[in-house]
Amino acid sequence: MRLFTALWPSQEAVGHLAAEVRTVRSARSRQLERATGGLRRFRFVPAQRWHLTLCFHGDEADPDRLGDRLAHRVGQAGRAQPGFGPPRLRMAGAGVFRGVLWIGVQPAGDADADVLATVAGMAGSDPRSFRAHMTVARWAAGRADRDLLAGLFADYEGPWWEARDVSLVCSEQQSGGPAYRTVRRVSLAVTC
């Protein structure tokens, strides 16, 4: 069982980005063809799998222990950190990692950025090197023209949404790709 900790965007945010992906696939199909021409098995990730990964935990991690630790840390932060609560975020801009086209996740302000970094740290990531993003496409091999590919979504700005909870998620490989199942959900709306 492969585990990761994630934030799920709102349905409105997913719908908005899905509409932009449809536009890129149809209205900008020539640009998409040029951007992906040298890539093998380029494919968009289905919208129901879009999430902001905070930390990968691997196959050997204990979901009960991880879930309890996450709930404890969120509870502590809610009592000790003024302003801790659901961060306000939006998807905006784009970039490329090896084999991945991603849409950036932007906090609304400094307090939201602080909460996002804190939650990433609680999940197990290094908040200083954490880059908030959502993977929207993958490919198996080939060299991407990073500017051309990221340029397809460079001006994208989605609606604001609140990350109301953090989820510990199990990823299980199936014939159509990974299937995600939430193992534990912890509310970020902590009351003291």
- Which residues are known catalytic residues? 51, 133
Q: What is the DSSP letter of 164?
A: -
Q: Count other Cβ atoms within 10 Å, centred on residue 176.
A: 7
User: Sheet holding 100-107: strands in order across?
Assistant: 43-44, 133-138, 100-107, 88-97, 161-162
> Edge-to-edge, what's the strand order for the sheet holding 52-58?
52-58, 2-7, 165-174, 177-187
CA–CA distance, 90 with 118 (Å, rounded to integer): 18
**Under a CB-based contact definition with an 8 Å cutoff, are residues 138 and 98 in contact?**
no
